[in-house]
Structure 1
Amino acid sequence: MPVNKMNVGRDYTFGFYDGNTGTIVDLGDVQNVRVTANYHDIASRPYNDVPRFGYIPDGYSISFTITRTGPDLEEFQLAATQRFNDGAIVKPGFLNETVTNQDGTVSRYQYTGFCFKVTDLGDISRESVVKMTCTGMASAKVKIA
């Protein structure tokens, strides 16, 4: 819950819907998430006037650090690779984000056109949790509640 009108990482939850299977993929114990809003620059530099600049929204980049709690992410990655190698259509899914605000209300957002990959299956050593890394991209972020 929020602390003294400040949000902390415990206020956020994430869930992934796989557009290929129509199922929710268990992400495991999500530890760190970094969301970056991407833009590309545009510019007009006329000879007889001042320059004009702007930014065009260009989706979102999202990275995760996850503690492995089961085989779901590894099996998702294997299935995605197999789907691609079989020449099947690979559909994006969506990522849901739920935030508990400092006033107790809940905001829900959805990253649409979301695709992601498991980039690091983890460092496996005795008596340590296995940390996995994922990165993804989304077309847009919309408020759903």
Structure 2
Amino acid sequence: MAANTFNIGRDGLQLTTFDATLGQVQFNGLTGFTAKPRYKKLESEGADGVTRFRNVPNGHEGTFEIDRVDSSAEAYFAQKESNFFAQYPPSQSTITQTVTELDGTVTQWQYTNVEMALENAGDWKALDKVPLQVSWSASKKIQVA
């Protein structure tokens, strides 16, 4: 393998999102995806004078970056809002990220118990594109393939 070969964004932008109540979620115009682990940082100051640290896994969080090409993202969140006011139980989602590795193999990661929020429904300016942002938080990340 060449020394300066590495993954680029499109290698991991194959995403499938499934809502337990609303079914498959399609965010058309996806341009970016971020995923970050969360940790609860514990610290203990012992009587022996030694400070001990421990990072406890505490979920994952990230964003979808979207260029608005249709109403798919807004329609999904409008339906979630409508369900809330109709007093339906909240639904959670699963995000599956498929990554094409440099050797051609495929790795899949699944984020479970995902809750999403439409953070930005668009900045509408003259001739500029309209970017949207969806944030998400998940309980776990597991490797499925």
Normalized against structure 1, the TM-score is what? 0.90
Any gaps of 5 or more consecutive residues in structure 2? none
1:15/1:27 contact within 8 Å kept: no
Supply the distance in 2 between the matched residues of 1:121 and 1:46 (Cα, whole angstroms): 49
AA of the residue aligned to 2:72: D
Moved over 6 A (4+): none
Measured against aligned partners, the alpha-carbon deviations of 1:31-58 in whole angstroms (never above 9, x if no partner) come to 1222111101112222125222101111
SS at match of 1:82: helix
Q: In the alignment, which residue of structure 2 is the partner of 1:88? A: 88
Measured against aligned partners, the alpha-carbon deviations of 1:100-119 in whole angstroms (never above 9, x if no partner) come to 01111110111000110111
Aligned residues, how many? 142
Percent of aligned positions that are identical:
26
Q: In the alignment, which residue of structure 2 is the partner of 1:105? A: 105
Q: In the alignment, which residue of structure 2 is the partner of 1:122? A: 122
Q: In the alignment, which residue of structure 2 is the partner of 1:137? A: 137
Supply the distance in 1 between the matched residues of 2:7 and 2:20 (Cα, whole angstroms): 31
Q: Does residue 42 in structure 1 map to residue 39 in structure 2? A: no
Normalized against structure 2, the TM-score is what? 0.90
Measured against aligned partners, the alpha-carbon deviations of 1:65-99 in whole angstroms (never above 9, x if no partner) come to 10122222111111111111222101211001010
Structure 1 vs Structure 2 CA RMSD? 1.7
AA of the residue aligned to 1:120: N
Deviation, 1:127, is 4.3
SS at match of 2:80: helix
Moved more, 126-135 or 80-89: 126-135
